Structures are given as structure tokens and as C-alpha cells.
């Protein structure tokens, strides 16, 4: 099984059979997409998946999948309808809970779904608690044990409304992995993040990841600023344009006099890229931009070692806050260019510095540069 969320798959690896995952969701965040994306990713991988719907009608939840461009019209997908009867409607779904407030009937239907599927996803465990009371928690314990016996995985979407603290603690205690989905607040919600609160099958660092929701697309890890800098005429603008889904520049006589700005959707990441001008008169800008970036790519011309001192100066200006960086050794397709090892030696870089060969004009190696920086960001 997969988590199906960028970065989390890298950190947690495969989800072992018999385990449970809980998304603990801030009420102010559109976090219901997380369990749905986990279901879709595993459905695409050939697993049989059941979605327990308790907070909205099956048709609305199907439209929710369509909103993000996810095709769930497969024989291996089914819905446990624990909503329709609550509003007095009938249901044509494979699993139907005729009285959602009756915990024994709910348990009987969910147990059957666990027996017959690889993955069981609750779109809103909190809604079930609201309808049926806190006694649901004891049934959660039973469902988890039954999933272990049947080699199934359970994923809970749980909105952390102001329940009693012991309810929240019990939910976390019963889960093998808990992923927090929250908002960054300053009077209003300024951004959104997710992070791993605990996991019992993989030791992970406490790490928060910013995210965006794309329609279509779903959850994307969000990097608001990667800075691309380097000496004049090293190929920064060409690099930004070659790697970006969309990019703009301000040129004067063919030379960038303002920031290049690019955006790229890559391997589950949504990334904004900013390229700086290379002239020394823009040095004050480098300090400001470096303080706001999450990582730095320094583009150097592999055929012009005389510019390396300037590149080293720009590296120092932009990474003085300890930012991870990668050196992009451009123009590797030109005869006489220096190798990455020679560039590292001539720039007197640390042994662990990453220098990646590329050609911005032909696009060869440009994504290797981005991969190298993403590896530093994820691992750091």
C-alpha cells in the first residue's frame, strides 16, 4: 500500500498490511482530500478499495473525486453508504447502512467491507462520532484488529473539532501512523501544511511540508521559492525557462534586469522558481531573496572558471541562513568545459557539496539539478 501523498511516500515507504493511518485534520483546512487521494493512488495500483461515506451523499463524494481528475469507475472500488439513510434516502451502493446511529449494524457492514477489500477509507470518522457518540472509539479498536487479521489497511479522515482531549488522544493512540494536516495562522490562515506526528513502522523526523491543492491533481507539496542565481551570462534565465511549466522574464537588450519567475509541477511538487540578475549592483537584492528562499541553485558557466569567484560570492550571499544549495554546472555540451569535480575543486567547495552537470539550452540534466535540491530539502 502507498500513502499516495508527496514526500510522505518517501519518508514512510510502503504501508504494511494490517496497519492504520489517521489524517488528523484542522477544521479550517480542506483536508478531506488526503484520505481520498490515498484511496485513489491505491485503486490505481490495483488494490480493492472501499470508501465509508458518512458526511455527504455518495454522488457528492464521487463528484469530489472528479473535481481532482480521479477516475474511480472501477469494479475494485465500492462505497459503504452510511449517509443516505440518515437523511431518509435510499441507496444503490454495494454496502448500505440502514441505520447509521445503530453501532451494531454499522459494525456489521464495515466488518464485511474489511473482509472483502485491501484498503478501507473513512472519509469522516468524526462525523460517525457526532452521529453515534464516543462509543464509536471502541469499535475503531475492533476494526483495527480485524484489519490486522485480514491483512487490510484502514485510513481514517478525522477532523479535530473541539472534542474532549481524551477522545483525540485515544484516536491517536489507536493509529499506527498519525499525519497532521493543518493551517499556518496569523489572524487568518496564511498557508497549509502536513506532517507526521507518529509512525510505528518507520522512524521519521518531525517534518512539516507546505502544500497546495490543484484541480485537477490533488495534494502537491509546495515550495514557495527556490532561488536560481549565478554570475552574469551563466545561463540562469535559460535554466529557469527550460525547467518551468511557465516562466516570464524582463529583458533589456537581451539581458535580464529583473527577476525571472518560473513555476513547475514536478513529481508531486508545486514549485515557484526565481532567477536573479548576475550583476554586482544587484547584490543587496540577493541578501533579501536568500532570506526568503527554501533552497538555492547556483548556475555556473563550466567554460569560464574566471567567473567562479563571483559565483562563490553569490553563493555566500544567498545561503548565509544555512539554506541547502546545488551547483548547476552549465554548458557541459561545449568542448573544453570543466568537469563537476574540477569545478568543485576550483571553487574550493566542501566535500559534501553537490555539483550537477547540465546544459540549460538542450535541457539535458536540468531535472537532475532539481532532483538533487529536492533530495536535500526532503532529507534536511
Is the residue at 89 inside a domain?
yes
Give residue 287's pLDDT.
62
Q: Does residue 227 share a domain with residue 164?
A: no
Percent of the chain whose predicted confidence (pLDDT) is above 90: 76
Its domain, for residue 180, covers 8-216
Q: Does residue 207 share a domain with residue 288?
A: no
Is the residue at 2 inside a domain?
no
Domain end residue (candidates: 183, 216, 249): 216
- Give the mean pLDDT of the chain: 90
Domain end residue (candidates: 216, 236, 267): 216
Q: Does residue 180 share a domain with residue 84?
A: yes
Percent of the chain whose predicted confidence (pLDDT) is above 70: 90
Q: Does residue 228 share a domain with residue 185?
A: no
Q: Which three cell numbers stand for residue 48?
A: 480493492
* Separation CA 345–CA 374 (nearest Å): 24
Q: Does residue 123 share a domain with residue 202?
A: yes
Is the residue at 3 inside a domain?
no
Q: Which residue has the higher pLDDT, 251 or 97?
A: 97
Is the residue at 1 inside a domain?
no
* Separation CA 154–CA 282 (nearest Å): 54
Residue 321 has pLDDT above 70, yes or no: no
Q: Does residue 235 share a domain with residue 181?
A: no
Domain end residue (candidates: 197, 216, 235): 216
For 286-310, write each residue's pLDDT tens digit.
666 556 688 999 999 999 999 999 9
Residue 193 has pLDDT above 70, yes or no: yes
pLDDT grade for 322, boundaries at 50, 70 and 90: confident
Give residue 253's pLDDT.
41
* Separation CA 124–CA 131 (nearest Å): 11
Q: Does residue 149 share a domain with residue 270?
A: no
Is the residue at 352 inside a domain?
yes
SS3 of 78, please? strand
pLDDT grade for 207, boundaries at 50, 70 and 90: confident
Give residue 183's pLDDT.
86
Q: Which residue has the higher pLDDT, 76 or 208?
A: 76
pLDDT grade for 260, boundaries at 50, 70 and 90: confident
Alpha helices, DSSP H, located in 135-198: 136-149, 165-173
Give residue 310's pLDDT.
93
Is the residue at 76 inside a domain?
yes
Q: Does residue 111 share a domain with residue 33?
A: yes
Return the CATH number at 71: 3.40.50.300
Is the residue at 350 inside a domain?
yes
Q: Does residue 252 share a domain with residue 200?
A: no
pLDDT grade for 153, boundaries at 50, 70 and 90: very high
Give residue 256's pLDDT.
46
Dihedral sign from CA coordinates of 216, 217, 218, 219: negative
Q: Does residue 278 share a domain with residue 178?
A: no
For 87-140, write each residue's pLDDT tens digit.
999 999 999 999 999 999 999 999 999 999 999 999 999 999 999 889 999 999
Is the residue at 154 inside a domain?
yes
Q: Tell me how many domains the chain contains.
A: 2
Q: Does residue 212 share a domain with residue 100?
A: yes
SS3 of 67, please? helix
Q: Does residue 209 share a domain with residue 248?
A: no
Are 278 and 233 in contact, with CB atoms under 8 Å apart? yes
Amino acid at each position: 500500500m502507498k500513502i499516495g501523498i508527496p514526500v510522505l511516500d518517501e519518508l514512510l515507504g510502503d504501508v504494511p498490511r494490517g496497519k492504520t493511518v489517521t489524517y488528523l485534520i484542522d477544521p479550517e483546512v480542506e483536508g478531506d482530500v488526503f484520505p481520498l487521494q490515498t484511496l485513489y493512488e491505491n485503486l490505481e495500483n490495483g488494490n480493492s478499495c472501499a470508501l465509508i461515506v458518512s458526511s455527504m451523499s455518495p454522488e457528492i463524494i464521487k463528484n469530489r473525486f472528479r473535481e481532482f481528475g480521479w477516475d474511480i469507475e472501477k469494479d475494485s472500488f465500492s462505497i459503504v453508504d452510511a449517509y443516505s439513510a440518515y437523511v431518509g434516502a435510499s441507496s444503490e451502493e454495494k454496502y448500505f447502512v440502514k441505520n447509521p446511529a445503530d453501532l451494531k449494524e454499522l459494525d456489521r457492514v464495515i466488518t464485511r467491507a474489511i473482509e472483502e477489500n485491501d484498503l478501507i477509507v473513512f472519509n469522516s470518522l468524526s462525523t460517525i462520532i457526532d452521529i453515534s457518540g464516543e462509543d464509536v472509539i471502541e469499535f475503531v479498536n475492533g476494526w483495527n484488529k480485524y484489519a490486522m487479521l485480514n491483512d487490510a489497511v484502514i485510513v481514517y479522515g478525522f477532523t479535530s473539532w473541539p472534542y474532549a482531549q481524551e477522545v483525540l488522544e485515544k484516536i491517536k493512540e489507536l493509529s499506527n501512523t498519525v499525519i497532521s494536516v493543518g493551517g499556518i495562522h496569523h489572524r487568518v490562515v496564511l498557508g497549509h501544511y502536513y506532517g507526521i506526528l507518529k509512525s510505528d513502522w518507520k522512524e521519521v523526523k518531525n517534518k512539516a511540508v507546505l502544500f497546495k491543492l490543484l484541480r485537477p491533481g490533488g495534494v502537491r507539496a509546495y515550495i514557495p521559492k527556490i532561488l536560481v542565481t549565478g554570475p552574469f551570462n551563466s545561463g540562469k534565465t535559460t535554466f529557469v525557462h527550460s525547467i518551468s511549466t511557465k516562466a516570464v522574464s524582463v529583458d533589456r537588450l537581451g539581458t535580464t534586469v529583473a527577476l525571472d519567475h518560473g513555476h513547475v509541477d514536478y513529481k508531486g511538487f508545486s514549485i515557484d522558481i526565481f532567477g536573479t540578475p548576475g550583476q554586482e549592483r544587484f547584490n543587496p537584492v540577493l541578501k533579501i531573496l536568500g532570506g526568503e528562499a527554501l533552497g538555492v541553485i547556483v548556475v555556473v558557466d563550466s567554460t569560464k572558471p574566471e567567473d567562479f569567484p563571483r559565483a562563490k560570492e553569490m553563493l555566500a550571499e544567498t545561503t548565509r541562513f544555512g539554506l541547502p544549495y546545488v551547483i548547476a554546472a552549465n554548458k557541459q555540451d561545449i568542448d573544453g568545459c570543466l568537469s563537476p569535480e574540477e569545478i568543485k575543486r576550483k571553487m574550493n567547495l566542501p566535500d559534501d557539496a553537490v555539483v550537477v552537470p547540465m546544459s540549460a539550452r538542450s535541457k539535458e540534466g536540468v531535472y537532475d539539478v532539481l532532483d538533487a535540491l529536492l533530495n536535500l530539502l526532503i532529507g534536511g
